[in-house]
Structure 1
């Protein structure tokens, strides 16, 4: 214990090390605070959308009080859906920064409404959110490099290396120094995370998993730094080499892999599906109404016993060709989702080799902010939209009057947070890489003694 206390005093005497640790603690705290603030803002938005939507529905019910059919209420009534953030969302905001977490839909074609949220300015989303995942994956390795790159070369330049090498059991000295520096870095990350977890109400098992991921990723970079620091070169050369390794592992290789996946699994944007569905809907005005209804009844025979269309406009024809528009682009929607899911699978496999990618995949899955979580939200919207259609079709195709009291019978959306299970394969690979890198680095230090 006295030896650890002495090593800690040496670290605190170094202005560079003390400033680096304080800066990491500050950045981690700001990242956790920023994540908590954004999650709270999203929850406040979600809490307001329900009452506001009910006010809109009440206004529609007042205007449509004299309606004798369900077409007008079906056309004008919007239904709010929302994707509440999980308790761990403050750690990694992921796609919640760009994908809609609140979406209002109505009984018209779904695809045109589902992807309207993608019409954003890409330059605004380029920088991303400052959250703990960013600090852990991109910034923490830089602090490990700053604390470990001159572990050996600094002693050599000070003229103490040969004396340290002559000390019996000198390997314990190096291990103690490495363990203390890594423990301080881990504490600068873990303390804000624990505080944020207490505020957000995150479960203990999830917190332990986050700390395990952080420890494994820290162990990997500590091992890499030791492998370079123990090679006997000068401090500047060590820092330069480690910065190059950091750039390759965290920036270059993931970017190249992303480009390769985009070329291997090309998919259209969701906006393309929206435009294709709208083209199908607009083109239906030029198609004979009897042909439209024939196609609709072929796929939905339960409504085929409805009365023939009158010579004037009828809402059931209008909603029928909206649904046919969705069904026409269904193969494109399936291909779009399958392409995204294939990219996701290969990204997770890439996380077996690149610790930064694996760490990001694990955190986003835990937080419920990755692609599967977004697709699950879309699936819930699709199921709810189906209930909306079936509710109004009972009035449209059976020619039942729709009164003011029928608004209270409309389906209501039930939200649930999406938080996927931990990715055992990626987590095991990350822990294995961290253990191998750290063991190799410590073995390199042991040979110095």
Structure 2
């Protein structure tokens, strides 16, 4: 026990080591606070939705409530959807920092609305903002290098290694004990803080344990690399340079190259192209014979084909029909886009088995519900909700049922957990 106590005293006497540990603690605290503030801000925005929706709906009713045409309600009423953050999202912000988590939709063409919400190319999002996952993935290895690059070389350069060899304890055991002490010191700077924040955010104990185990395993990986370099008996400066080179290759260069390779291997059109194609189909419908538009719509949705024939006057059922035809015209393109994004996500996950930094990011965002699959699942819920909205308004439009001010609140509400 005295030897362990001595190693702790030796570590705490090193000013560079203490400064590094203090800095790591401050960075961990900042990353966790930043993530919590970001998620609290998003939750607060979501909590304001019902009140804002009532205000918006009241304005629509005031302006168009005297009309008995459901088309006015379908056109002017926006319906909110949202994707609430999961408890662990504060630790790995992931897609939530770049993808919309609130989207207001109308019962018109949906594809343009969804892809207009993506003001970025989502598959190009790389490291993301400064959060706990970023700290673990990119910064923690740097502190491992600071504490471990001279684990053995410092003793040799100071001429103490010969004296250590003369001690009754094996030299390997001495260095192993020193490595354990420094590894525990590093983990002590990040793990307790994370556990405290996670418990405050209501993260399940099993998930907390999984993140802690992942953190320990990732730290051990970098410590093992540092110990392998130490076996080469290079100088401390050479060890540091070699470890920094390995860190840059594993954490930065190789993930970037693999990302480029995945992009080239799996071609994916931009979401904006889907929105543009949908809009072109909608705009072209104005110049098409209305009967042809309705024939295409009824062929896909025969449950409404017994609706009364169109007259010469404008009718919203024709307007909504060609919006739906526009969505259907890009359905295959949207499905291909979806498959491509999923394939890229799967390929990145496979890269994570080879490159631990990529694997760390993949697992953290997956557990936090902030990865691309979580975003695509939110889009699926939007599509399911939009289908219910269309069916609601179609019941009035295609059956020629008058739509009154009392019918506005009867529109289906978005259920976040609805499949």
Give, in angstroms, the shift of residue 417 of structure 1: 11
Distance in 1 (alpha carbons) for counterparts of 2:273 and 2:165: 66
**Contact 2:93 2:128 survives alignment (8 Å):** no
Deviations along 1:273-319, one digit per CA (max 9) or x if unpaired, are 11111111011101100000011001111000000001110000000
Seen in structure 2, the aligned counterparts of structure 1 residues 76 and 126 have a Cα distance that, compared at 3 Å, is same
2:81 match: secondary structure: strand
Alpha-carbon RMSD: 1.5
1:119–1:355 distance in 2 versus 1, CA, 3 Å? same
In 1: Cα distance, 2:327 partner to 2:389 partner:
15
Any residues of structure 2 matched to 1:13-24 within 5 Å, and which? 13-24=13-24
Alignment partner, residue 91 of structure 2: 91
Q: Which range moved further: 51-60 or 98-107? A: 51-60
Tell me, yes or no, if structure 1 residue 193 matches structure 2 residue 194.
yes
Alignment of 1:401-412 (within 5 A): 401-412=402-413
User: Is 2:60–2:76's contact at 8 Å kept on the other side of the alignment?
Assistant: yes
Stretches of 4+ aligned residues off by more than 4 angstroms: none
* 2:74 alignment counterpart: 74
The yes-or-no answer on 1:209 pairing with 2:210 is yes
**Secondary structure in structure 2 of the residue aligned to 1:231:** coil
The Cα shift of 1:166 comes to 3.0
What is aligned with 1:297? 298
CA shift at 1:253, angstroms? 0.5
Distance 2:411 2:329 in 1: 27
For 1:2 and 1:350, how far apart are their aligned partners in 2?
Answer: 44
Partner of 2:224: 223
**Residues 406 and 417 of structure 1: is their aligned pair in 2 closer, same or farther, counting only changes over 3 Å?**
closer
TM-score by length of 1: 0.91
Query: Corresponding residue for 1:158?
Result: 158
Residue matched to 2:258: 257
Q: Distance in 2 between matches of 1:283 and 1:121?
A: 27
What's the counterpart of residue 111 of structure 2?
Answer: 111
SS in 2 for 1:104: strand
Q: CA–CA distance in 2 between the matches of 1:188 and 1:35? A: 17
Aligned residues: 416
Measure the CA separation in 2 of the matches of 1:416 and 1:295.
Answer: 33
Partner of 1:286: 287
User: CA 1:152–1:126 in structure 2 vs 1: closer, same or farther (change >3 Å)?
Assistant: closer
Task: Within 5 Å, give how 1:124-203 maps onto structure 2.
Answer: 128-170=128-170, 171-203=172-204
Please name the residue that 1:435 is paired with: none
User: Which residue of structure 2 aligns with residue 392 of structure 1?
Assistant: 393
Mapped to 2, the partners of 1:230 and 1:92 lie a distance apart of 35
Which piece of structure 1 moves more, 404-413 or 19-28? Answer: 404-413
The corresponding residue for 1:11 is 11
Partners of 1:196 and 1:223 in 2: how far apart? 29
Conserved? CA contact 2:75–2:108, under 8 Å:
yes
SS at match of 2:48: helix
Residue 306 (1) aligns with residue 307 (2): yes
TM-score (normalizing by structure 2): 0.97
Spell out the pairing of 1:276-425 with structure 2 (5 A cutoff): 276-416=277-417
In structure 1, runs of 5+ residues without a counterpart are 419-449
* Distance across 2 between alignment mates of 1:252 and 1:33: 29
Unpaired segments of 5 or more residues in structure 2? none
Distance, in Å, in 1 between the alignment partners of 2:237 and 2:418 is 48
Alpha-carbon distance in structure 2 between the residues aligned to 1:121 and 1:15: 45
Which residue is equivalent to 2:64?
Answer: 64
Q: Alpha-carbon deviations, 1:113-139, whole Å to 9, x = none?
A: 0011222599xx888311001110000
Range with greater deviation from structure 2 (27-36 or 188-197): 188-197
Helix, strand or coil for the counterpart of 1:163?
Answer: helix
In 2, Cα distance between equivalents of 1:30 and 1:208: 22
